[in-house]
Amino acid sequence: MEEYIKQALEIVKAQAGVRNMTEEEITSMVKSLADQLKGLVEGEQSEVSREEQKPAVDPKKAIREKSIICLECGKAFKVLTKKHLKTHGLTPQEYKEKWGYKKKQSLIAKSLARERRKKMREMKLWTKRKLGS
C-alpha cells in the first residue's frame, strides 16, 4: 500500500501546485487516489468496495449556499459537472443514486440555482414572442 500512497502523493502535489487546496481536500484526495491506484493494479475495484465508501461529508449537507461538495473526493464546486463526475467513473444519475439524491436534484450551489431561476423568470421564455418586435 505504501507505494500507492507515494504515487497518490505525487499526483496530489502536482494538483496542489496548480490550485489552492485545503488540508482536508489534500488528505481525502491522497487516500482516495491511493485506494483507486491499488484497486486498478490489483483489480479490486468492485461494486463491494464502492458500497463501503464513506462520503467526504454528510450528503444532506453537501449542497451548500455558495458551493456543493463532491462526496467522492471532498472538493468544493459551484456546479458538480459531468466532466468532474467522470473522473470518479460516475454519471450524474449514478452519483445521485449512489448518494441518495432525487433524480431531479440539481448538483449546483443553492445561491447559483436561485440566480438562474430568477433569470429564467425574467426572460419569460415560455411566452410566445410577437413577430416584428
Residues 121-129, mean pLDDT to the nearest whole number: 83
Please write the tens of the pLDDT for every residue from 61-71. Answer: 999 999 999 99
Reduce the DSSP state of residue 99 to 3 states and report it.
helix
Band of the pLDDT at 19, cuts 50, 70, 90? confident
Strand ranges for the chain from DSSP E: 68-69, 76-77
- Grid coordinates given for 80: 458538480
- Per-domain residue ranges for the chain? 1-53, 55-122
φ, ψ for residue 108, nearest 5 deg: -145, 150
Q: Please state, in angstroms and as integers, the Cα–Cα distance from residue 104 to each residue in 25, 94, 101, 117, 129, following that order.
A: 28, 13, 8, 15, 29
Cell numbers 467522492 correspond to what residue? Answer: 72
The CATH number given to 55-122 is: 1.10.10.1550
Q: What is the pLDDT of residue 132?
A: 60
Q: What is the pLDDT of residue 57?
A: 85
pTM confidence score: 0.56
Q: What is the pLDDT of residue 48?
A: 44
